[in-house]
Amino acid sequence: MTCIFCQIAAGELPSALVYRDTHCMAFMDVHPLGQGHLLLIPLAHVEKLEQLPTVIRQHLYQVFDTLLAAQRRAGFGVEGTHLIVNDGKATNQHIPHAHLHLVPRQKGDGLGFGLRMFMHFTGIFGRRTPLQTLRRQALVIAAELDPQALENLAHRTSRLHAAST
């Protein structure tokens, strides 16, 4: 298995996990564009979101909404958040596995954010953020999630997916 996101999903590589269900997982980006930067991936290996069944794609967006609210309750992205989707090679997608970035922003972070974004765009990611730092942020965000609501959402998606196949 050569896909780094598949390796993370399989537990072969460490991550700072925020959330996981039978369809997707969210973890901290090791090269964050800002504090609290999450990646949300489907567990199925697909390069583009359109390759996912509609119900799974819809599930990702519903989980995104829940993660966004948790980020804000945890103090990340209170002033704004970027949802970044690089969907295919032409969009500068460095890892060919569908994923969504939830990037918290704050007033006055434009210059630093712009520089980090430029580095990401060129493939120069710089130093990794220490895993312990990311895990602390992940715990803060995960503590703001509603586990029962997410479990209900995952079960609903599983039923809909089973019915559509």
Phi, psi of 104 (to 5 degrees): -65, 140
Dihedral sign computed on CA atoms, order 145, 146, 149, 154: positive
Contact present, 98 and 49 (Cβ < 8 Å): yes
CA distance 54 to 71: 26
Indicate if 99 belongs to the active site: yes
Catalytic hit among 59, 99, 101, 120: 99
Other residues' Cβ atoms within 10 Å of the Cβ of residue 49: 17
Phi, psi of 125 (to 5 degrees): -95, -15
Q: Which residue reads 């942020």 in tokens?
A: 137
Q: Among all residues, which ones are annotated catalytic?
A: 99
